[in-house]
Amino acid sequence: MDYINAIILGIVEGITEFLPISSTGHLIIAEQWLGHRSDMFNIVIQAGAILAVTFIYWRRLLDLLLGWREPENRAYLGKLLVAFLITAVLGLIVKKLGFELPSTATPIAWALIIGGFWMIAAEWLAARRPPSKEITWPVAILVGVAQVIAGVFPGTSRSGATIFVALLAGTNNRASATEFAFLVGIPTMYAASAYELLKTFKDGGAANEDWTALGIAFVVSTIVAFIAVKWLLTYIRSNRFTVFAIYRIILGVILLGMASYGLVG
């Protein structure tokens, strides 16, 4: 793989992993012009973005782990664990069923458009409920399910699905919903990366992987994601997610138009 392409893909992943606009969808679209990459490549550079979030939330994670004796921290850790386990179990079932990501732009375009309208509706509904920062057990369960749905339908956005499920399920504080969604993503993406690495080595595919390009994309993704997440956490303090919903809808319409003219597969 050309190293310039690896840098571009790392930038795309770093920007889109935590903004609710779908990193997998953007990477599959980028593949139309930059060439095919392995599933392991995509998942491991996503782990680079997760590493950035680990750096950002390290103090929060440390407080949770060191303060596990406190009932509030224990309950929060339990909810993170439940959401992760639901994702892991359902994700493995999906893998065993032989699910593969689509390689064409049309289903991604529709997921972007539908998700954009859903985001606008979800935030509108959440704003009309009594204020609540609490992460309840139903929220944790639904966030786990949402992560799997986002993985099955590229264009949905893992961060978008989890944040807005949390908002609809009762945690209508944007900062609280976003924090939980991001913290759940840490073990989820690390586990997915480890799974793909073990699978690649087991199947003998390691020799076919461009490890230098993968390393470059990983580092670039980590740096760019760190900047993107820092900006997002500041932005949502006083702004809604509407701008991202509009972007999704516009991009989805453009992709459908390009697909109809054969400009994308």
pLDDT above 60 (res 4): yes
Confidence tier at 42 by pLDDT (50, 70, 90): confident
What pLDDT sits at residue 182?
95
- Asked whether 30 and 15 are in contact (CB, 8 A), the reply is no
Q: Can you read off the two tokens belonging to residue 221?
A: 């993704």
pLDDT above 60 (res 250): yes
Give CA angle at 251 (247, 253), nearest 5°: 120
Q: Can you read off the two tokens belonging to residue 142?
A: 């639904």
| CA 215 distance to own-chain centroid | 20
Q: What are 169-213's pLDDT values in tens digits?
A: 989 899 999 999 999 999 998 888 888 788 878 877 667 788 899
Confidence tier at 1 by pLDDT (50, 70, 90): low
Lowest mean pLDDT, pick from 123-127, 175-179, 222-226: 123-127
Average per-residue pLDDT for the chain: 90
67-83: average pLDDT:
95
Query: What share of the chain has pLDDT > 90, as a percent?
Result: 61
- Asked whether 21 and 157 are in contact (CB, 8 A), the reply is yes
- Asked whether 64 and 73 are in contact (CB, 8 A), the reply is yes
Give CA angle at 83 (20, 80), nearest 5°: 95
Better-scored residue on pLDDT, 139 or 202: 139
Residues 6+ apart with CB under 8 A from 198: none
What pLDDT sits at residue 32?
79
- Asked whether 208 and 169 are in contact (CB, 8 A), the reply is no
